[in-house]
Amino acid sequence: MRIEPLSIAGAALIHLEPHADDRGFFARSFCETEFAAAGLETRFPQANLSLSKLRGTLRGMHYQLPPHAETKLVRCTRGALFDAIVDLRPQSPSFGQWTGAELTADNRVAIYVPAGCAHGFQTLADDTEASYMVSAAYAPGSERGLRFDDPWCGIDWPMTPTDMSDKDRTWPLFNADYHAVERFRDPG
């Protein structure tokens, strides 16, 4: 696999390096040794799968507060999606910035989302599935979100959302939840 750093500190695209023959190909999608050598999280005790029926569905922007902050490794296993990350870590050199990438079943690229970043995606095709490994279990009391259209970060989504949950539509603007984000500040 090839690990390509992104503009968000600690975020990366994970590209497969397939070994192909007449039968198809084989590729590692995760390697603890390579992740550790790159300084990435290697412990993923939970895996999630989501299916979005309609093109334009937006899920996010989600994060969890410490001590339940999650690192995510997200891959599109069917269809296509645009994945976005916003850096909410005040001490980070990329604080307040966002980046995005197109993940598809065909390109097989995964995105590595560091803890302390909000994460979400918009589907680019009907019946899109996303599979993601997370470094911490879901903790409802630590769950937070950032509005998908928050002008503070200004994510450039590919299209106007056609479907989203009420919860995702009504997350607070960044300034309204800054006290929670302060918990990502490095104590040292």
Which residues are designated catalytic? 62, 132
Of the candidates 131, 61, 65, 129, the residue with the CA atom closest to the CA atom of residue 99: 61
DSSP calls for 65-84: -TTS---EEEEEEESEEEEE
The tokens for 134 are: 């997370």
Q: Are strands 117-123 and 80-87 parallel, antiparallel or unpaired?
A: antiparallel
40-to-31, 73, 75, 122, 151 alpha-carbon distances in Å: 11, 10, 16, 25, 30
In angstroms, the CA 80 to CA 106 distance is: 8
What are the φ and ψ backbone dihedral angles of 185, each rounded to 5 degrees? -60, 135
In angstroms, the CA 53 to CA 172 distance is: 26
